[in-house]
Amino acid sequence: MLSVHSFFARLFAPLVVRDSGRAAAMLTRFARTELGNSLVMRWAAATTTSPVRRAAYLRHALDEERHARFFAARARKLGAPSRRLVADADDVFRLLGERRFVAFVHRAEARGQREFEAYERGFRAAGDAKTAAVFALVLRDERRHVEYSKDFFAELGVGRTTLAWVTAWEAVRAAQRSASVVFGALHFCVMLGLYAALVPFSLVARQRSRRKGAREVSARSVALFER
């Protein structure tokens, strides 16, 4: 099945792989996403009541942490600035409950697999074997994640209805996120206008601080510290 993600991955892969700056930015984004996914899986491991699934979720979380490190390291090699990764994630397990959560994990991993396959092919075709190898390593785990999550379907009663519900939920979430981006941009513009309105207040503040003068404190002798 060709999802929107894998469609765009196939479309943009040739553009991304030829430019190391773009590739580095994309790998950093992937690193951040994988780190976010690891949190989601850690929270799931902490919440599930099944010891079997707890181990599976935790193993999954550790895979995602490793992926984040792989992607971040490769991004740095391609010129990305060396910054601490900060992840953002929703507690999907708590939002959806475990049955829908497992369906969500399965769909997300399958989508990730298709996306990464497109990039792996792209980087290999562009002659960047090292970046392609990173994707190949990650893909090995992604395939396992797709399989293990499906193995829980019968146990948790995940059927077509659940998968359809999760598909719809993901669509709504994607729309909400897009709306949030638009709202954020709009908010930023409004705030800039509001910021400009601070001009008279800032003039008053400056006049006041000039009148008040500098805070008077007597500096101690520098010699005090020369010991």
Q: Could you list the residues that contact other proteins (CB under 8 A)?
A: 39, 42-43, 45-46, 51-52, 54-55, 58-59, 61-62, 65-66, 81-85, 87, 184, 187-188, 191-192, 194-195, 198-199, 201-202, 205-206, 209, 215, 217-220, 222, 224-226
The CB-of-30 to other proteins minimum distance in angstroms stands at 18
* Closer residue to other proteins (CB): 1 or 222: 222
* Closer residue to other proteins (CB): 18 or 66: 66
Nearest CA-CA partner of 38 in 61, 58, 69, 66: 61
Cα-to-chain-centroid distance, residue 221: 52
* Closer residue to other proteins (CB): 154 or 223: 223
Whole-angstrom Cα Rg for the chain? 25
Half-sphere exposure for 23 (CA within 13 Å, toward CB)? 26
The CB-of-79 to other proteins minimum distance in angstroms stands at 14
CA angle 205, 206, 209 (to 5 degrees): 85
CA distance 223 to 31: 51
CA distance 83 to 201: 37
* Closer residue to other proteins (CB): 9 or 41: 41
* Closer residue to other proteins (CB): 160 or 225: 225
The CB-of-198 to other proteins minimum distance in angstroms stands at 5
* Closer residue to other proteins (CB): 211 or 225: 225
The CA dihedral of 153, 159, 163, 165, to the nearest 10 degrees, is -130
Is 27:74 a contact under the CB 8 Å cutoff?
Answer: yes
Is 99:166 a contact under the CB 8 Å cutoff?
Answer: no
The CB-of-56 to other proteins minimum distance in angstroms stands at 8
The CB-of-95 to other proteins minimum distance in angstroms stands at 13
